[in-house]
Amino acid sequence: MRKYLAVLIPLILCAVSAVSQNAPALRHDRSVDKWADKTLRKMSLEEKVGQMFVVWARVQFLNINNPEYAHLRDEIQKYHVGGFGLTVPVEGPTLAKSLPLEAAVMTNELQRDSKLPLFIAADFERGLSMRLNGATAFPHAMAFGATGNKDYAYQSGKITAEESRAIGVQWNWFPDADVNSNPANPIINTRSFGEDPAMVSQMVTAYIAGAHAGGMLTTAKHFPGHGDTDTDTHLAMARVNGDMQRLESLELPPFKAAIAAGVDAIMVAHVTVPALEPDPDKVATISHNIVTGLLKDKMGFKGLVVTDALEMNGLMRLFQPGTRAEMSARAAVAAVLAGDDMLLIPGDLDGAYNGVLNAVRSGQIQESRINDSVRKILVAKASVGLNKHRFVDINAVNKIVASPESLALAQQIADDAVTLVRDNHQVFPLEPSAAGTSQSGLAYHAEGPGGNSVLAVIFSDDVRGDSGRVLERQLRSRIHDARVIYVDEGTAGPRTPEIMDLVAKAHAVIAAVYVAPSAGRTAKGGNSAGSIAMDEGQAALLHQILQAANSRTAVVALGNPYVASSVPEVQNYICTFSNAPVSEISAVKALFGEIPMRGHLPVTIPGIAPRGFSLLDKPAQPASGS
């Protein structure tokens, strides 16, 4: 009983004394500096080095005595980590998403176990819904670019900040300041607002302002620009070509805009930039020329400089041979010497932590250099009030997260992003049947006979995943006997004869292509540097569908807009720039003429259409029968 009370009482006190982190104003006044200086003076070298590290915390229900939670507690108490990056476990092709309340409970627990307040950060590029169910789900950044409405970026930043603070997250690793100028970019793509540096700058600036209004720290990434690469740095080292003039005109302007807007942190990419760093074995993360010479000295950035995940192959391969601990140590030391303040997701925390600690003890790294970074970290923590209130009010979560107004705004953004690129006036608007049904399809179910009116073929990375589920429900709610078939790399080839037979009979065909940037994604027939293309089997199937029924087929790109370049013969082409559920809903609404397709291409699709193009404002048709 005493042990139970020892655990319960601190939790009750935390809940009672917690001050809601709902949109507190960011501040940097004398009290912030005073706390940072006082705290720094009391810290041991071991504590100071630990503050520079951020490691993963996977949100799930965990008993506080569970070995997984004990591991997190050990990282706090043994390594004095400065914070955690909030994510979730991966199960097969999908993320095992948790709920906002579970996240809030976990962040409170982690804060309770730490002597110093922790940064809780997250990659909430599309809001909390990237990791948690039940939160407001925004589309990808490129969808915002398609709307051309920077107020949408502001509002999404504010809503994401308010929802994040409600669950105990104070720092978002967003916005993406990359200019996606390379259609073959396998990892940025729809994560970028577009290919125009001026528009990207406006969106980045608006997002930062909104996030700050909601009380959240922001991060511009991936410095000095990851948009003109054809390699996924999770898999291999990427290279940014171009001389200094090109960098100044294309890659750097959004980062300059972010700095002017008061961005709190800048994340440095694992990319080589010959124009800035002549050493081919020094990616930007470990380049003193880029981190200190360019970003800090020339561009005048005074905030936190953070690394991209240190565990990524684009960096780790540079420190071979050696054990994972040895490579992690060398990578961490190199990052600190380059000028990075915080080291995210090391491949081996023990190796990286002790590597930096020993480098200071040996004199390779000056302790004053560590002090400079740790003071900035402490100032940033105090700027969001962590020096005074580190816990969140669990009872406030369901009053803030996923409000009806926030959900409606997210859907409106997705609606306004839909862009009509090609239209032969023979497919849309589709006609709904007299009565629909909300039945859903599973990857393994017998799909049933269906009707001959509409066939939807869902192209995705894995038929067991979530891609297409919302689109199918939306389609069946309008046409009850629509036939829906899911194909991936393994099933596209074997199912081609069956699908082509159905294509011949269908009055209209929807080819929904779900290809979105994903860390480490490779397509069959692609290369080890990553891919944003359809795999060979799926591409061959799509070509066959268009060859047999181009005039009555609508290709809908739910993600990568450049898909059309591989099927230049396509007659009907719609882009949503996102595979988020709101974008699936928008796609179906557009197909049935329920919304105008008023978006504009934020990127050029080679061989198809230039940036800014759209068959603008195709009139919405009355949705009879629905």
Cite the active site residues. Answer: 234, 308
Alpha carbons within 13 angstroms on the beta-carbon side of residue 421 total: 32
506 vs 515: CA distance, rounded Å: 25
What is the C-alpha R_g of the chain? 25
Paired with 119 in beta bridges are 83
Q: CA 559, 565, 566, 570 torsion: positive or negative? A: positive
**What is the rounded CA–CA span in Å between residue 341 and residue 101?**
31
321: cis peptide before it, omega within 30°? yes
- Both tokens of 123, joined, read 């990659």
> Which SS3 state, helix, strand or coil, does residue 201 take?
helix
Is the dihedral angle over the CA atoms 229, 231, 234, 237 positive or is it negative?
Answer: negative
Q: Which of 396, 389, 519, 380 is nearest to 83 (CA)?
A: 380
- DSSP structural state of residue 58: E
CA distance 139 to 153: 11
Number of H helices, E strands in the chain: 21, 18
Strand partners, 420: 574
3-state SS class at 321:
coil
* 218 SS3 class: coil
Where is 122: in which H helix or E strand?
strand 119-122
Burial of 56 (0-12, 13-18, 19+ CB in 10 A): middle
As beta bridge partners, residue 176 has 221
Name the E strands within 491-564. 508-513, 553-557
Dig out the tokens for 448 from the structure: 């049933």
| Nearest of 300, 302, 267, 303 to residue 285 by alpha carbon | 267
Cα–Cα nearest to 353, from 84, 47, 112: 47
Look at phi and psi of residue 224 and say left if phi exceeds 0, alpha if psi is from -120 to 50, else beta. Answer: alpha
End-to-end CA distance of the chain: 59
Cα 217 to Cα 261: distance, rounded to the nearest angstrom:
12
Round to whole Å and give the CA distance between 495 and 482. Answer: 18
Q: Could you give the CA distance from residue 87 to residue 310 in angstroms, rounded to a whole number?
A: 16
